[in-house]
Amino acid sequence: MHRRAYFLLERDFQELKENNFKGITAFPVSEDLMEWGASIQGLQNTVWQGLFFQLTINFTSEYNLVPPVVKFLTIPFHPNVDQNTGRACIDFLDDPAKWNTSYTLSSILFTLQVMLSNPVLENPVNLEAAQMLIKDESLYKQIVLRFFNQPSQLRDDRPESLKDPDKFIRSTKAVSFNDYYKTWSGIATSKATEYYRSPCKSPGLQSS
């Protein structure tokens, strides 16, 4: 079983290197490929633009029959991210019954990247963030950015393996937001509505 997981993760790694997706990097930090470090960058023209998030991804020997455990090391103030643990609230990661063996490391990172600017406000894991986004979008954006106005703290919190730029898969290929949206809407927590095509929008924020 472990040999199968190793082979599939090598395939996922090769997919990342060949496609060179913009704003997504990942690399194994263990020889058996069960532990990974990753980084995602916020999409352009959103409140998350220019912000980088470090993550850990832990696989088991049962991959890809079961999902990995994914946690943000740089925890965003976001309705769908647990503020205490850094775990993203995405159904196919939380519920093995909703996991699909067609999902890869790339599709997981795509989902997380688009989730940042397309929050699902039904059953949020961070209720405070969801309520603030609905009631006062401007204040929500200020708090999001405040988390990133202390770059020295972020640098200190990152593990050494994530500080080495040579270990990252550099990303240069541009992908449109619609392409991200199409990928994410099929596999994220719930189907994204047209409300969420605009960054940080929700039904409660629609103007009359």
Q: Which carries the bigger pLDDT value, residue 149 or residue 201? A: 149
pTM (two decimals): 0.72
Q: For the chain, what are the domain ranges?
A: 2-167
Q: Which CATH number fits domain 2-167: 3.40.50.880, 3.40.640.10, 3.40.50.300, 3.10.110.10?
A: 3.10.110.10
The tens digit of pLDDT for each residue in 23-67 reads 999 999 999 999 999 999 999 999 999 899 999 999 999 999 999
Q: Which carries the bigger pLDDT value, residue 181 or residue 49? A: 49
Average pLDDT, the chain: 78
Q: Does residue 82 sit in helix, strand or coil?
A: coil
Give the span between the Cα atoms of 73 and 56, in whole angstroms: 7
Note the helical H segments in the chain.
2-19, 91-94, 105-117, 127-135, 137-146, 151-157, 160-163, 177-185
40 closest CA partner among 141, 108, 129 = 108
pLDDT the model gives residue 129 = 94
Mean pLDDT of all residues in 161-176: 38
The tens digit of pLDDT for each residue in 78-120 reads 999 999 999 999 999 999 999 999 999 999 999 999 999 999 9
Give catalytic residue positions. 89
The tens digit of pLDDT for each residue in 117-157 reads 999 998 899 999 999 999 999 999 999 988 776 533 333 34
